[in-house]
Every structure is written in structure tokens, then in C-alpha cells.
Amino acid sequence: MKAVVLVGGFGTRLRPLTSTTPKQMLPVIDRPMLEHVIAGLARHGVDEVVLSLGYREDVFREAYPDGECAGVALKYAVEPEPLDTAGAVRFAAEAAGIDETFIVVNGDVFTDLDVSSVWRRHHEVGAEGTIALTPVDDPSRYGVVPTDAEGKVLGFVEKPPREEAPTNWINAGTYVLEPSVLQRIETGRKVSIERETFPAIVADGGLWAVRSEAYWVDAGTPATYVQIQLDLLDGLRGDPVDGVADDASIDPSAVIDRSVVMSGARIGANAVVRDSVVSMGAVVRDGALIEDSVVGPGAVVGTGSRLTGLSMLGDGASVDDHASLVGAKVPEVD
């Protein structure tokens, strides 16, 4: 099975972390997000991945120069300019010479979803496209997908106002598509698969869906970027993972509570790190408190400072001694 993995977005909701690193290359525990995503696809039978990218493609190429990631063969399809989700799929599929049934996934989705069951259902019903659905509390941030009892899709509404969402089953960002879908996508302009292509296939009666209750999180926001890591520590996906890197240096008087401390990070005396992520090479000085927040790679938190409420420090950012930041982004973003 061949999969196109969409990784070309700007990751604006994760700025300032994504000002230097594309979203899917942000570290999750001990590896870039992308490696977790591709390893998940490989477990369900995907053996070739086409990375559909644009923004900071250099970072991906540098990380995987041999055309292999998590044991899967990698191809690169670099858009000259962002073509949006459908434009990106067509561009990548053609660049890789895909001419049979294929898979598409959003590269920021963390899931245990069984893509091979979506593949099977797709062939069973003879669909043109089959998408996985997951239930969420607030569907307004997602593509909302009502179906009939058999799973035939009745409509596709991208990010409707909460009160107008017809169901809480949403597009989980995993699709099985026939190559005929590519012909529906106009070239030379941005085309959204959610706003144009899927509604058109629905109108022709060719879109089907498979509901899944498997673990599923879109890691594209500060809250979910932290959550996917704490979920791994908490054992929500198999055995609990140890979030503290072997070569992190942690003062014996510091408290690390349900947090990730990545390689080369340093935590000072009496510092407290709770429900947070301290990235590679970051420094948390004596007596600082980090709670529900992200300290980016190489960032420095001054002595006695408090960083709480989903504060995010970008690559190499620094916070003065005795500062108190709640929900702050450093450096500031628009």
C-alpha cells in the first residue's frame, strides 16, 4: 500500500515552535512527529510513503537523506507553492507515479486507527473514496461527516459553527482513494479536498466512511501537542513510555511530574516541571516552575520563573529570572 502523507502546512497554530521547524518535524518524546505517524502506517501495511511538502522541505530532506523513515521507503514531492490539501494530493500522486488505489493521511494525526480496515471496506463497497471517522466532543474544528447506516457519506462540512454540526463524527484525516479522484482536482490553483473534492464525490454517491473509536488526536495545536506526549507517558497507547531522556541532566532536588524532558535538557535545583514538555538542550534554571507548557529546543527559563497555562517558548528563546508567564508565546507571534 502506498500512502501520500500531507506535511506541507505552515503549522501556524504551533508558532513559535513551527517558526523554525515544520510541525511534523517537532519532537514527540524522542523522535520527530513524522516518525511516529509513519511507524503507525507501517504497522498496518503501508510500505511506501510520498511526503507531500513545501514549507521547509529542507528540514525533512536533511533528517531522512536516504529516502527511508521508520523502515518505510520515502519519496519527496515538493510543491512549488502551497496547493492546499487536494492540490497537494494530486501533485504528490502524479510526482510518484501512483496509478492504483492509494492512501492519504494528514501528517499531524496521532492514531492507532487500522488503515487496512478502511482499505477493505473501500473495496467491499466499490467506493471512489473511503474516509475514516472519529468521534469528538467539539466537531467545529474539523470536517463533519454525516453518513447513512451503511456508512455511505451524506455530506461533508468543513469546520461548521458548533451548533450547526449535524453529527460529532468527524473526518479523521485518513483516506483510501481511487486514482479517478485525481482527475477531479483542477491543477494550477489551490484546491481543498475537504471543501471541494469530497463534497463533489458525495454528490455523485461515491464517498464512504468507516467509523473508528481507536486512539485519535490531531496534534496541530499547543494543547494537543502536549497531550499526545502525556498520553504516551500515561500508557494510553500500549505500555507507558519513560519521558525523561537518559542524557538529560536533572538536579536531584528538582521535581519532574508527568512530563517529557528531552535529550541534553538541564533542570536546575528545586525546579518543578509538571504536565509539560522540555525539548532538546533546553535549560530550566533553579527554582523555576513549568506547568502545562512547552520549552522549545535550546530555550532557557530563568531562575525562579513561572511558565504556566500553555506557554510556549520557541527555539532558543529565553525568559528572564523571576518572570511570570501565563499562556505566553516567546517570541511573540501575530
Active site residue 2: no
In the complex, minimum distance from the CB of residue 312 to Mg ion, in angstroms, rounded to a whole number: 17
> 194 or 196, CB closer to ligand GDD?
194
Structural contact between residues 78 and 34, judged by C-beta atoms closer than 8 angstroms: no
Q: Which of 194, 275, 292, 315 contacts ligand GDD by CB under 6 A? A: 194
Q: Which residue is nearest to Mg ion (CB)?
A: 220
The footprint of ligand GDD on residues 280-299 (CB under 6 A) is: none
Instruction: State yes or no: residue 107 binds Mg ion (CB under 5 A).
Output: no
110 binds ligand GDD (CB under 6 A): no
Q: Which amino acid is at 55?
A: Y
Catalytic residue among 2, 159, 190, 329: 159
Q: How far apart are CA 106 and CA 52, in angstroms?
A: 10
**243: which 3 cell numbers?**
519521558
Closer Cβ to Mg ion, 92 or 317, answer by number = 92
DSSP 124: H
Q: Counting contacts by CB under 6 A, is residue 85 touching ligand GDD?
A: yes
Residue 192 interacts, among Mg ion, ligand GDD, none and using kind-specific CB cut-offs from 5 to 8 Å, with none
11 is an interface residue for Mg ion by CB under 5 A: no
- The rounded distance, in Å, linking the Cα atoms of 71 and 73 is 7
Residue 41: name the closest of 135, 93, 118 by CA.
Answer: 118
* Residue 3 CB burial class (10 angstroms; 0-12, 13-18, ≥19): buried
Which residues are CB-contacts of 69 (< 8 A; sequence separation ≥ 6)?
34, 35, 38, 49
Does residue number 83 form part of the binding site for ligand GDD (CB under 6 A)? yes
Length of the chain: 334
Nearer to Mg ion, 23 or 184 (CB): 23
Other C-beta atoms lying within 10 Å of the C-beta of residue 334: 4
The residues carrying an active-site annotation are: 159
- Site for Mg ion, rule CB under 5 A: 108, 218, 220
- Site for ligand GDD, rule CB under 6 A: 6-9, 23, 52-54, 79, 82-85, 88, 106-109, 142-143, 158, 170-171, 173, 194, 218, 220
